[in-house]
Structure 1
């Protein structure tokens, strides 16, 4: 970088906190640091022209876990761990809504649904059987039953008799949410630089040297909020998981409203105005989708179109308008990693595909470590 004196003076001199990643976690960390240290100099570095990863590429689900996903989690985590994780997701959604306002993020409380394919009778029966237990353990948090059976009024095809409805979930406009978050950060005198890739860090006794290609600057602390790209930082505890998505052209008289999960959350769809946004099918090719490369594949895109045609919109013609992908951060455990890595380096990563729900809380927790 060929920088002037002015650029070096205003952006890269006397930096107190450098945050790597300008997504939901990174910006919430910056905002919490501003609250804690009003006079500090906070710099956010982002390798993409817009927040990379998943923050501007997700489906905009204001959700905290489908019934089948929660039942799955109870097989691999303790009851206390599962409840704590759901509480963190729920609290994160409330924090996001409180910080930005429902109008700014276009929050719509249409509820969340889970549907079960005809060939998943076993999973369907298990969910119906265990629903009272899950409702019971979540009642202290929500003060009411979270999940209930509901008759399908959307004319889906090839599914079991009942949907599972959750009235506490909703949807947001991901683009509006990230724009509002960026505006809030700028209004709080947080410096954000895009297209900046951190190529190395070198920790010293009094701070960290940060390399941006052939340019170096010094900061007191570095906070990594790079989620799916944090494998090297965490010695492999975070693995990237690509999520492929498509969206239709507008569909006249579309009656589908809400957020919908299928197959333990591996498929998910929603309306966005009068379009259907549909993503998932990562479980068709776990190995191929464990990547930090953006892109779409035929095996997954064809399956998404097939399910749209046969299950979701069986009597409606549609055209796919656009396709994209995002990179999530997964791991053997669902719990996020929020920790101090060394004297001056910290990270908040592994959001488990729940960044909208949990990102604001993880950002705040990351800032509290400093």
Structure 2
């Protein structure tokens, strides 16, 4: 049920007497207090899937591969760009206006082989997905790259960095940047639309998405004379993120926080390290709005491969345990999150953190004994 209320902000002045000296000439307007969104329904998903299961060479090689295609329409979304004339200024309604197309494939394979007394199993799995926003509630833009429609869900966006300003002549001869005062050692951005001004109209899709489009794993298992061995790797790819916060921006909160050792000796410094390709811009005591914009300068690749599990075990022969009335006894060692291979070194990329201010995944070692009576 919809309802209305008087509004002291959205109204009108009558005639030519609506001035600061005649505040009584201002007339309050009416806006919606609550708006009933009629006709709301569930999202509609049309899914198509083609798959194949196979088993070859007397079941030595087997697997499953699936291709999926999903069109999801009527996504529930807030109408953030309705005109003011509707009266929906404070409580915009929701409607089924979004549409996303998703497609990709996933699968797994396994290969079993016996070499003498050794039983080997190789296995792997992979999921790759890609999507595109077909419809999105957004205002018209002169620049297609500022729209969400036509791009991926969770697409990373930011300015394109051209390195650091070398001196004040470089600043004067470059397009004007509108995010704050700049000095040599600050980040220089690319003028995408060529209007001589760097502002929000120069923000473009960069990198990949903030969620991995590629997830995979592979491993090997072996058994021999009571010994067993299991090794499993997992990985993720096609994902990017932008570092920010007090960890990435030293001294941005003035007295709070420490400085990463990665920053020491790697930031632009007048007279000592005036490298326009320095890893960090000049340090400032307090915020620096120009340098802290989302951009390719702070963009990092979130891809990684991790040795997720390693397990070694030995099952004692039955003749040793029979007299103890034990059916089976196994001693084992297991390690989790032992190694990580990634181009990003500051913190664990699997945390999904842009600031590093999360508790990291633990590396664990376990020694155990399993007894079946």
TM-score by length of 1: 0.20
| The structure with more radius of gyration | 2
Larger helix percent:
1
TM-score by length of 2: 0.20
